[in-house]
Amino acid sequence: MKKILFFFLLLNQLSQAQIIVSDIVLIGNTKTQNDIIIRELSFEINKRYSYVDLDKMIEKSNENLVNLKLFNFVTIDKTVNRDSIKIIIEVIEKWYIWPYPVFEISERNFNTWWKEFASNNYSDFSRLNYGIFFNWENFRGRNELLKIKVRKGFKEHYLLAYEIPYLNKNKTIGINTNLQFFKRKKTYFLTEENKLNYLESDTFNSIDYDLNTEIIYRKNLHQKHKLKFTYLYSKINDSIATLNPNYLGNKLSNTMLYTLEYIFEHENRDYSSYPLHGFALNFAAKKYLSSTKNVKHFEFSTKLEKYIEPYKRLYIGSSFKAKYSTEGNQPYFIQKALGYIDYVRGYEYYVIDGQSYWLSKSAIKYALIEKTSFDIPYMKMKQFNKSHYSLYLGIFSDIGYVIDNQNQEQNFINNSLLWGNGIALDYVTYYDKLLRIEYSINALGEKGVFLHFSCPF
């Protein structure tokens, strides 16, 4: 008994023993500047930590570096020398410069596009976009992002964006700004029976100019405060204003809209593109202002995500998101609720507009293949010659509700409980690529197989 007690006392002393970080060595960051990596570390050089605390900090630092999305692989090792320790961080950088052609569907999801394509005897290619997109990630090696986009087709889009995460010496203040221009010859102007109605014409029938600037304050590794200003000018032709007088509100054919938004983010997930552990919290408050004073309401939104691994290779994830709008008439084009970015799985073919909503998602999945790395033969470029993949099989359940006080009579699933259940097979690989194949059934009794290319939460 004394030997056992002595053994546990010895382990406790070792766990509480202090060790100093004598050196931090970075390997593989040929493009990324050293201070960009150092900024994401939970530990510092020439400081003492217990062995237990340091191991936790190393694990969290690894997650922080992965979530920068600058590296395909991150490895952190340590070398102990008596009362000091050297930390070795090795990264394999991604390819950062992407000038590539745009050829994409112009729909809310793949299944919606395919259904329309099939209904036109697989001959209508009008809902396709094409062009060129220049994306320079990690610009100047400082995690900056430069975007230039020229897209023609169903929905023309012209974009110039520049994101700077660090403006000051302490790397706590950043700024993002972008200028966008949209033109459409085919515009959805109304939602009936929870489907979008489109107006098609020979000339452009809707035009949007969008300028927004976002100031970011990041004092610590996990929290961000953002202040975002947006200017939007929208113009529609007389036909849309006649078909839906509330498209811009008050039978207007053009309007200038301003928004001021505060956003708080707490990020503590292991891999933001496809998390398995940790949690995230988001809160936003937005004020609308219009040049015609017909839009002046507030919006409040929040989102909470939680991920755990109760047993090895078994993962549980859940999220809850809600948006609340204060009273006041809202133009049609800003009433997007579910069916666009957010959706209840099983309702991919439907659009549910409204002023407020909530959405809960849950999933249980098993790793058929845990993250597995492999070398790609005959590929010499280090940014591509090593890849990874993983495969997950799971079940899910989504529940949502949209509050609509303006268009409920013409949309039969507004103001009703929406739920969808099903099974999913997720394939995850490098460069944050994800393919989800889901079989869903909804509260209407409808069943279907759906394809998605992003995280469901």
Query: For the segment 2-24, what is each residue's pLDDT rounded down to a tens digit?
Result: 555 555 555 555 556 789 999 99
Domain co-membership, 81 together with 226: no
Q: What is the pLDDT of residues 78-114, one digit of tens each?
A: 998 878 899 999 999 999 998 878 776 655 566 665 6
Q: Which pLDDT does position 102 carry in this prediction?
A: 74
Residue 41 has pLDDT above 60, yes or no: yes
Q: What is the mean pLDDT of residues 367-372?
A: 96
How far, in Å, are 187, 304, 307, 328 from residue 283 at the CA level? 31, 9, 19, 22
Residue 296 has pLDDT above 90, yes or no: no
DSSP 31: S
Residue 123 has pLDDT above 90, yes or no: no
How far, in Å, are 107, 196, 200 from residue 121 at the CA level? 18, 20, 19
CATH of the domain at 10: 3.10.20.310
- Domain total for the chain? 2
Note down the domain range covering 65.
2-93
Domain boundary among 93, 113, 130: 93
Residue 67 has pLDDT above 60, yes or no: yes
Structural domain includes residue 203: yes
User: Locate tokens 């909503």: which residue?
Assistant: 357
Domain co-membership, 50 together with 174: no
Phi and psi at 321, nearest 5°, equal -130, 140
Q: Residue 119 corresponds to which tokens in the numbers above? A: 């209904």
Domain co-membership, 180 together with 279: yes
Q: How far apart (Å, rounded) are the C-alpha atoms in residues 175 and 85?
A: 36
Structural domain includes residue 234: yes
Q: How far apart (Å, rounded) are the C-alpha atoms in residues 79 and 77?
A: 7
Confidence band of 178 (pLDDT split at 50, 70, 90): very high
Q: How far apart (Å, rounded) are the C-alpha atoms in residues 406 and 438?
A: 33
Domain boundary among 39, 74, 93: 93
Q: Which pLDDT does position 277 carry in this prediction?
A: 97
Domain co-membership, 89 together with 229: no
Domain co-membership, 444 together with 330: yes
For the chain, percent helix, then strand, then coil, each to nearest 5? 15, 55, 35
Q: Which pLDDT does position 106 carry in this prediction?
A: 58
Taking alpha carbons only, the member of 59, 95, 4 closest to residue 430 is: 95
Domain co-membership, 70 together with 185: no
Contact 395, 315 (CB under 8 A): no
Q: What are the residues whose beta carbons fall under 8 Å from the beta carbon of 408, sequence distance 6 or more? A: 414, 415
Q: How far apart (Å, rounded) are the C-alpha atoms in residues 234 and 356?
A: 23
Q: What is the pLDDT of residues 181-234, one digit of tens each?
A: 999 888 999 999 999 998 988 888 999 999 999 999 998 999 999 999 999 999
Domain boundary among 66, 93, 120: 93
Q: Which pLDDT does position 131 carry in this prediction?
A: 85
Q: What is the mean pLDDT of residues 253-271?
A: 95
DSSP 456: -
- For 234-302, what is the HEC assignment? EEECHHHHHHCCCCCCCCCCEEEEEEEEEEEEEEEECCCCCCCCEEEEEEEEEEEEECCCCCCCEEEEE
Structural domain includes residue 219: yes
Q: What is the pLDDT of residues 329-342, one digit of tens each?
A: 789 999 999 998 89
Q: How far apart (Å, rounded) are the C-alpha atoms in residues 336 and 387?
A: 38
Confidence band of 153 (pLDDT split at 50, 70, 90): confident
Helix (DSSP H) and strand (DSSP E) numbers for the chain? 5, 22
Taking alpha carbons only, the member of 103, 94, 178 closest to residue 136 is: 94
Burial 109-139 (b: 16+ CB within 10 A, else e): bebbbeeebeeeeeeeeebbbebebebbbbb
Q: What is the mean pLDDT of residues 292-319?
A: 93
Q: How far apart (Å, rounded) are the C-alpha atoms in residues 191 and 292?
A: 24
Q: How far apart (Å, rounded) are the C-alpha atoms in residues 274 and 22?
A: 34
> Which residue type does 97 have?
I
Contact 335, 408 (CB under 8 A): no
Domain co-membership, 84 together with 209: no
Q: Which pLDDT does position 109 carry in this prediction?
A: 61
Q: How far apart (Å, rounded) are the C-alpha atoms in residues 193 and 410?
A: 6
pTM: 0.87
Confidence band of 343 (pLDDT split at 50, 70, 90): very high
Q: What is the mean pLDDT of residues 263-282?
A: 96
Confidence band of 121 (pLDDT split at 50, 70, 90): low
Confidence band of 453 (pLDDT split at 50, 70, 90): confident
Q: Which pLDDT does position 122 carry in this prediction?
A: 61
User: pLDDT over 90 for what percent of the chain?
Assistant: 71
Q: What are the residues whose beta carbons fall under 8 Å from the beta carbon of 39, sequence distance 6 or more? A: 166, 171
